[in-house]
Amino acid sequence: MFIMAVTALNRLNLSIAGKKIEEEFLFDTIRMGKVFSSFLWGYAIFQIPWGYVCDRIGPMRTLTASIFCFGLGAGLMGIAPNLAASTGISVLLAFQVIRFITGVGEAAVSSNGVRVIASWTSIRERGFASGLQSGGLGLGGTLTPIFIAWSTIRFGWRASFYLCAVFAFIALILWRWYATDWPEQHPAVNEAELLHVHPHAVARSGQRQAMANAKRVPWLKMLSSVSVWGLILAYGCQGYAFYVYYNWFYFYAVKVRGLGLMEAALWTSLPFLAMGVFSPLGGWFSDRISRFLGRRKGRLYAILLGMTVSAVLLYSGSHMKVTTIALPLIALAAGFNYFATSNFWASCIDLAPDFSASLSALMNTVGSIGGAISSTVTASVAVHQGWSRALDLAAVITLLSGLLFLFVNAGRTIEQPKGAPDLAGA
């Protein structure tokens, strides 16, 4: 959760500090959209390589490398203008390259988090654990707007990125000191805990790791599975809607609603606070439903509920003239989006328990492509047709995300033979 929170800090910082960057370098909305997209292309392209590496060598070393990479990217943002001057490239291109590097580092975090959940939690707790992971991102996003706005106003936008780098390296040190790939490798895990999580595991044994390393990722089975295609396309739509909140809520509060920088920062915390609260709630909801109706219906009902309510709230908020009502409605829309989102990650483990990092990386690749498209399309629609139309489009795509999940059967792994019964919800 802490790593996810730091990830949010290093991803969202540009959305807040970007207003000052925009003013200093005379960037328009379209150019800022290109900088946002640079992060997402790095994030999208390196998802699958990081996920594959994690499934082969485990999350401990993989996350160590990725945190170092995005922490370095955060620090380089502060000297981007100097790098541009010394190399002869434009400042815009320097920002784009550095944000691409930051995206490369952050690409490993979510899929590795899923792999940790697959190794460290029992089957009946996957939804809630996935909700805690996503909730960390939401809680980090809650604090980021206030922290970045305060540090930018007090010390300048460059210092705000240096501080983000410091937090990244603190996370790196803590993870490297305490983490292991499997619970049976950790000296603080006792026999009772191990029995609860993995009944057949043996303390201090490397048997499960050896078995996992001996298997190869079944890419052909993944790409021929209707459930996998339903999952990744639904998550692509989720990514489009999610990055509207992530990249543009602060700009929307300042430019459309006319709020001051600090006031807008406080409002911008609301969507992420809602995400932090609703994400574990959505995971818990699906776990409870799964025990009675099976995992397929448990995940499906949670996602349909979350995405439908999110779409309605987003549409209502974008057309509400009273700012003090409109912004909370849009914030709640983000929360219900994440009520559903935790179940996408849990479904990766349900569908491919031994290859959850690879499948979640594939899913997040499509989600990032959706986010990259969102960054550009939202800016273009907002400029040419207005912000209400841009948010209406996001609401429609949110609803489409829930409908696409109808094709996903989280009660059956991709390696189960055809005709075999769905797995029990517990």
| DSSP secondary structure string for all residues of 279-291 | HHHHHHHHHHHHH
DSSP state for residue 423 in the 8-state scheme: P
Label residues 301-329 b or e (16+ Cβ within 10 Å = b). bbbbbbbbbbbbbbbbbbeeeeeeebbbb
User: Closest Cα partner for 264 from 38, 22, 60, 19?
Assistant: 19
Q: Which residues lie closer than 8 Å to 371 by C-beta, 6 or more apart?
A: 40, 43, 44, 239, 240, 242, 243, 246
Residue 227 CA to residue 315 CA, distance in Å, equals: 29
Which CATH architecture group holds 2-407? Answer: Up-down Bundle (1.20)
pTM: 0.80
- Decide: 381 and 56 in contact? Cβ < 8 Å: no
Dist CA 321 CA 304 (whole Å)? 28
pLDDT at 212: 57
- Strand residues in 45-197 grouped as ranges (E): none
Helical ranges in 294-415 per DSSP H: 295-318, 323-351, 356-385, 387-404
Domain regions of the chain by residue span = 2-407
Rounded Cα gap, residues 85 and 308, in angstroms: 49
Give me the pLDDT at residue 207, please.
55
pLDDT at position 333 = 95
pLDDT of residue 44: 81
Q: What is the secondary structure of 208-265 as a DSSP string?
A: HHHHHHHS---HHHHHT-HHHHHHHHHHHHHHHHHHHHHHHHHHIIIIIT---HHHHH
- Cβ-contact 372, 38 below 8 angstroms: no
- In a structure prediction context, what are the per-residue pLDDT tens digits for the chain, which is 426 residues long? 899 999 989 888 887 888 788 888 888 777 887 888 888 788 888 988 998 888 888 899 999 999 999 999 999 998 888 888 888 888 889 999 999 999 999 999 988 988 898 888 888 888 888 888 888 888 888 888 788 888 888 898 899 999 999 999 999 999 999 988 888 888 888 888 888 887 766 655 555 555 555 467 778 888 899 999 999 999 999 999 988 887 778 778 887 887 877 787 778 788 888 988 999 999 999 999 988 898 899 999 999 999 999 999 999 998 888 888 989 999 999 999 999 998 999 999 899 888 888 899 899 889 888 987 887 898 889 888 888 899 999 999 999 999 999 999 988 888 766 655 555 554
Give Cα 163 to chain centroid, integer Å: 21
190 sits in the region (left: phi over 0; alpha: psi -120 to 50; else beta) called: beta
Q: CA-to-CA distance for 8 and 3, rounded, in angstroms?
A: 9
Rounded distance between C-alpha atoms, residue 13 and residue 377, angstroms: 21
Q: How far is CA 404 from CA 46, 227, 307, in A?
A: 25, 10, 11
Three-class DSSP category at 330: helix
- Look at residues 146, 28, 41 and name the one whose alpha carbon lies nearest to residue 92: 28
Contact assessment for residue 316 and residue 329, using Cβ atoms and an 8 Å cutoff: yes
